[in-house]
Structure 1
Amino acid sequence: MNRTTLTEKAIDLLKQLISIPSFSGEEDRTADALEAWFQHFDIPFERIRNNVFAKNKHWDHSKPTLLLNSHHDTVRPNKAYTRDPFHPHTEDGKLYGLGSNDAGGCLVSLMATFTHFYASENLNHNILIVASMEEENAGPHSLRWLLPQLPPVDVAIVGEPTLMQLAIAEKGLVVFDAVVKGTPSHAAHPNDNNAIYNTIEVLQWFKNYKFEKTSEALGDVKMTVTQINAGTQHNVVPSQVELVIDVRVNDAYSNQEIAHVLKAGAPCEIKERGLKLNSSKIDKDHPLVRSGLALGRTTYGSPTLSDQAALTCQSLKLGPGDSTRSHSADEYIYVHEIEEGIDLYIKILEGFLG
């Protein structure tokens, strides 16, 4: 099949995916649509829950494996939508619909790319494509859960909207719960240990703290207090104030190191919720990156989290669409972005797969 027809079918698949609600954990019908794609092209596939995956025709266990991955779940539409989020329609070159940009455009572009290479012989890597579920909520059956059931992966492309630029690093995430304590009392009486007033100094500490190590691709670690909660009624001084701190971790630190630093230095009790969402990266001189650079692509570090956090191999975030449109009202992707995305994916892999 020629590339033009393959691209047209990919866009049709995206329209179908948009029309099917596929919130995290509810992706049954989009998984059916992805199965139908593989059936149409006579490509054997497997499905575990709503994760759908396939291997290239000439799989060779002696070769390393390239993973192509994106997700088919979406967030729920926000209240600012002015269009039907499940009605795919094109206006002024924009294809509107929930999940069009994040990450349907990436997924169908990778599906088309995999199909293009499926029957190719003498590739230097095997190709494994995974359309995964529950990415948006890091659910119990997401890519992290699936990986032990797949062949070992040596390098990966994770399809997320990057304007087809090369995101060679991605920040990790650690969320902390903190508690600032004080003495509870009646508001009418003196209290030199008011937990809310004690929080002022603590907030200043979090605002001003700088982690020492920076990263060429990802810059500094970014720490932000995002939630605060205290008190039950107007005349009671609470015994404590609860804070939530969002820490975006560069590739100069492990999540464990971040937790150690904050537990040792923060002027309050603090505990991490989990340490699994580590930063990701790929060497700038990796052949996959070099292939993209040769096509005029540029490199950068991504501040947003994706299924890259589940991978232990080197991985590249790359895809059509713009990350700033993700989770926005009236989400869209330009049709030409999908056309260019498929073309660039194929050209990058031609340069990489030999």
Structure 2
Amino acid sequence: MNKRIQLFEESLTLLKSMVSIPSFSREESGTAALIVQFFDNKGIKSYRKGNNVWAYNKYYDAQKPTILLNSHHDTVKPNTGYLKDPYSADIVEGKLFGLGSNDAGGCLVSLIAVFLHFYDNKNLKYNFCLAASAEEEVSGSNGIESIISELGSLDFAIVGEPTLMDLAISEKGLMVLDCTAHGQAGHAAREEGENALYKAIEDINWFKSYQFDRVSKKLGPIKMSVTMIQCGAQHNVVPATCDFVVDVRTTDAYSNEETLNIIKNSVQSEIKARSTRLSSSSIPENHPLVLSGLSLGKKTYGSPTMSDQALLRIPSVKMGPGFSGRSHMADEFIYVDEIKNGIDEYIAILEKIL
């Protein structure tokens, strides 16, 4: 059998097995074990920490730079709109249905196929590290972040997410802010107290209208959205505090820490960031991997959605088979041909730099 066809058929079989095993974020032990067993059957040594699994090419050379091939095997929970069994992995009219098939099982099995394609090549310019990560959907601390220090030196990454195989060369980061406006309680019928709700409204209007001076060429402006508010205990008491939550999508124009400092210096509310670890990410437009993709007719763009790129501190590109619009939808699916073409296109892009 042609090696490329065999890789595709093995990838399809692996994806069907993955879909059939529930693998919600933080509950991915079943699919982690499946991936380990897959490598064992190939005679390839793999490593596992928590529910993360990784492996290296046969002729790994510490003197060479290393490419990280990464995608995730956790899923969200199926929404109530499912009409099909989310774990059936049925193929109907060229579509493989099932939870996680598009986001991001198809990407992961395609990257595993690419890893296998180059696995026993002695003359590569780069090493390969294949990492199947957990907890991506919740940006969990026991996902890719927990193994980065164990993977060795990494030079750049391909992060598998459904992009129709175009190249997302930048991606917005995320900060979630817990904000508290402070006032003083008093009786609503008298001129007493200092209304924290009114103070919060002033700050909320600032979040709504403020424009940061620097705008990313790839990602546009930073986007801030007030998404939750909680205030008051009874109708006749002026509230002493008002709590609200802000979703901040950051760009490469400012670090998360810089963005946070600007916000703190501009509003009167107390601001606490739940985390600053989910940073904007990018890869230079003249990077060899990007130029290789462009030479094959691929498009580049800046992505508003977040992936494990946010936890990598190396240049990275997000690309993979499937379409982002199908992620988390009811009766999720990926076209079988998207996987086949994805394997071929990943290989073609990498061959130009290897």
Q: TM-score range by the shorter chain?
A: over 0.9
Does 2:119 align with 1:110?
A: no
User: Residues of 2 paired with 1:233 and 1:80: CA distance?
Assistant: 38
Shift in Å at residue 298 of structure 1? 0.7
1:133 maps to which residue?
A: 134
Q: Which amino acid aligns with 1:139?
A: G
My pick for the range that moved more, 181-190 or 132-141, is: 181-190
What secondary structure is seen at the aligned counterpart in 1 of 2:265? helix
Helix, strand or coil at the partner of 2:121:
coil
Q: CA RMSD, aligned part only?
A: 1.5
Q: Residues of 2 paired with 1:265 and 1:124: CA distance?
A: 49
Write the deviation string for residues 267-325 of structure 1: whole angstroms up to 9, x where unpaired.
32212111111111111111111111111001101111111112111111111112222
- Counting only pairs closer than 5 Å after superposition, residues 1-354 of structure 1 correspond to structure 2 as 2-190=3-191, 193-353=194-354
**2-structure distance, mates of 1:249, 1:140:** 20
Aligned residues of 2:194 and 2:238 also touching (Cα < 8 A) = no
Question: Separation in 2 of the partners of 1:83 and 1:186?
Answer: 56
Do the aligned partners of 2:68 and 2:158 also contact (CA within 8 Å) in 1? Answer: yes
**In 2, Cα distance between the equivalents of 1:227 and 1:324?**
25
May I ask how many residue pairs the two structures share in their alignment?
A: 353
Per the normalisation by structure 1, the TM-score is 0.95
3-state SS in 1 of match to 2:48: strand
Distance 1:97 1:280 in 2: 30
**SS of 1:248 mapped into structure 2:** strand
Partner of 1:136: helix, strand, or coil?
A: helix
Output the CA distance in 2 between the equivalents of 1:146 and 1:125: 20
Q: Determine what percentage of the aligned residue pairs are the same residue.
A: 53
Whichever residue aligns with residue 317 of structure 2, its letter is: L
Name the amino acid aligned to 2:83.
T
For 2:270 and 2:26, the matched residues in 1 are separated by: 34
Q: Which amino acid in the other structure matches residue 136 of structure 1?
A: E
Counterpart code for 1:113: V
Cα 1:329/1:232, change in 2 over 3 Å:
farther
Separation in 2 of the partners of 1:347 and 1:160?
Answer: 18
Q: Is the 8 A contact 2:186 2:193 kept in 1?
A: no
Query: Does the 8 Å CA contact 2:186/2:194 hold for their aligned counterparts?
Result: no
Q: How far has the Cα of 1:108 moved from its partner?
A: 0.5
- Larger mean CA deviation between 87-96 and 20-29 belongs to 87-96
Secondary structure, in 3 states, of the residue corresponding to 1:227? Answer: strand
Alpha-carbon distance in 2 for matches of 1:211, 1:333? 39
SS of equivalent residue, structure 2 residue 203: helix
Offset of residue 167 of structure 1: 0.6
Counterpart-to-counterpart distance in 2, 1:269 and 1:134: 30
TM (norm. structure 2) is 0.95
Which residues of structure 2 form unaligned runs of 5+? none
Amino acid at match of 1:114: F
Deviations 1:41-63 (A, max 9, x none): 22221222221111111111110
Q: CA deviation at 1:5?
A: 1.9
Using the alignment, how far apart are the partners of 2:189 and 2:54 within structure 1?
65
Whole-Å Cα distance in 2 between the matches of residues 296 and 121 of structure 1?
A: 29
- Equivalent residue of 1:139, what SS? coil
Helix, strand or coil for the counterpart of 1:349? Answer: helix
- Aligned 8 A contact 2:277 2:310 in 1: yes
Deviations 1:138-167 (A, max 9, x none): 223211110111111011101111111001
For 2:116, give the aligned amino acid. Answer: T
Choose 40-49 or 336-345, whichever is displaced more. 40-49
The residue type paired with residue 292 of structure 1 is G
Further displaced range: 92-101 or 218-227: 92-101
Distance in 1 between residues matched to 2:242 and 2:325, nearest whole Å: 33
User: How far, CA to CA, are the matches of 1:203 and 1:283 in structure 2?
Assistant: 35
Q: What 5-or-longer segments of structure 1 have no aligned partner?
A: none
Q: 1:74 is matched by which residue type in structure 2? A: T
CA distance in structure 2 between the partners assigned to 1:196 and 1:261 by the alignment:
22
* CA deviation after TM superposition for structure 1 residue 192, in Å: 7.0
Displacement after TM superposition at 1:337 (Å): 1.3
Deviation at 1:326, TM superposition (A): 1.6
How much has 1:111 moved relative to structure 2? 0.6
In the alignment, the residues of structure 1 paired with residue 191 and residue 164 of structure 2 have an alpha-carbon distance, to the nearest angstrom, of 58
Q: Partners of 2:304 and 2:64 in 1: how far apart?
A: 33
